[in-house]
């Protein structure tokens, strides 16, 4: 019989997802960590169990493989009782469209868009079994404007935004609360960090430490906030994005992003 409750975190082995895993365990939540095979997720789980006396389980599979996704999520829900889903796994990059491989485009769409929608759809019936449950979807400040030289990534994050708002409305009146988080730049993986440093002061605007972003996102989600924008600078940015005409914000942001290209190797993040 399922008794203990678990928080499922996708992309939990590194970056923001790892920070969510640590924070959730620290506050006494049992966690299910989803990441690609071959990483250090198992050792993270062992250290969380030891340090915080919670149960931490690892499921290593490729979220872009919809068969693996379906069978793993079904196996998880057969054994574990999930009351909190954190859709964090995501990828992106900066490169001119003709230099971007079909595989990279496909990977961004499959991970950011398809896997988020499928994991959410598979878990909703289980989340609804609880009097109170939560979904946190990680979008990005990039969702607020189209961006040249990134094109697919901001579009995928705009999907997350729209998907989250629609779900929240559909599920209103149930105990399941849906929140969407729009982080600004985060120094997570080395490619992203190199890119942010390379942008100088402009790249660092809105930059917050990863633990602080995780803290704000978790607090807001558990308080039932629909929209979470970490940091005052990002809130100002959002305001600007909502009042500037499309062609102007497109030019300003795309101009800044173009400078990133020289800091990006062929496989990139965010
Ligand atoms: N970094 C930023 O500046 C920034 C800004 C705004 C929004 N975001 C968003 O925040 C979220 C986290 O970003 P991050 O920078 O923390 O990412 P990250 O450091 O690159 O970590 C990505 C995580 O996702 C996992 N993952 C990647 N591909 C996967 C796949 N196909 N199947 C299963 N797991 C997979 C990775 O697992 P492995 O370690 O096993 O590969 C890792 O745990 C993303 O949605 C991103 O778009 C990031």
Give the domain ranges of the chain.
5-263
Please tell me the total number of residues recorded for the chain in this structure. Answer: 270
Q: Are 21 and 12 in contact (CB under 8 A)?
A: yes
Stated pTM of the model: 0.95
**Coil vs helix vs strand at 30:** strand
The residue whose CA is least distant from atom 17 of ligand 1 is 15
Helix (H) or strand (E) holding 248: helix 246-258
The CB of 269 under 6 Å from ligand 1? The reply is yes
Tens-digit pLDDT profile for residues 110-156:
999 999 999 999 999 999 999 999 999 999 999 999 999 999 999 99
Sign, Cα dihedral of 214, 140, 121, 76? negative
Please report which confidence band the pLDDT of residue 170 belongs to, taking 50, 70 and 90 as the band edges.
very high
Residue nearest to atom 38 of ligand 1 (CA): 36
Measuring CA to CA, which residue among 150, 35, 168 is closest to residue 90? Answer: 35
131 CA to centre of ligand 1 in angstroms: 30
| CATH fit for domain 5-263, picks 1.10.390.10, 1.10.1040.10, 3.30.390.50, 3.40.50.720 | 3.40.50.720
What the block records as the tokens of 94 is 């900066």
What would the DSSP string read from start to end of 56-77?
EEEEE--TT-HHHHHHHHHHHH
């Amino acid at each position: 019989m399922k008794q203990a409750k678990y928080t499922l975190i996708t992309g939990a082995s590194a970056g923001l997802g790892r920070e969510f895993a640590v924070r959730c365990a620290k506050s006494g939540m049992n966690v299910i960590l989803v990441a690609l095979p071959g990483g250090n997720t198992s050792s993270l789980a062992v250290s969380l169990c030891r340090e915080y006396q919670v149960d931490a389980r690892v499921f290593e599979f490729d979220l872009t493989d919809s068969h693996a996704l379906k069978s793993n999520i079904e196996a998880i829900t057969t054994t574990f009782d999930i009351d909190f889903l954190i859709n964090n796994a995501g990828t992106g990059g900066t490169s001119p469209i003709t230099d971007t491989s079909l595989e990279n485009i496909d990977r961004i769409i499959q991970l950011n868009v398809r896997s988020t929608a499928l994991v959410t759809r598979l878990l909703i019936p289980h989340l609804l079994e609880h009097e109170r449950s939560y979904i946190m979807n990680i979008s990005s400040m990039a969702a607020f404007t189209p961006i040249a030289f990134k094109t697919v990534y901001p579009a995928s994050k705009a999907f997350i935004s729209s998907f989250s708002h629609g779900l929240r409305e559909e599920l209103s009146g149930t105990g399941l609360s849906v929140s969407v988080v729009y982080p600004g730049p985060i120094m997570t993986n080395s490619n992203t960090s190199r890119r942010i440093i390379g942008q100088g002061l402009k790249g660092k605007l809105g930059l917050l430490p990863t633990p602080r972003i995780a803290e704000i996102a978790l607090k807001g989600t558990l308080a039932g906030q629909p929209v979470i924008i970490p940091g005052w600078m990002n809130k100002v940015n959002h305001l600007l994005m909502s009042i500037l005409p499309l062609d102007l914000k497109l030019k300003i942001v795309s101009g800044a992003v173009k400078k990133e290209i020289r800091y990006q190797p062929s496989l990139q993040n965010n």
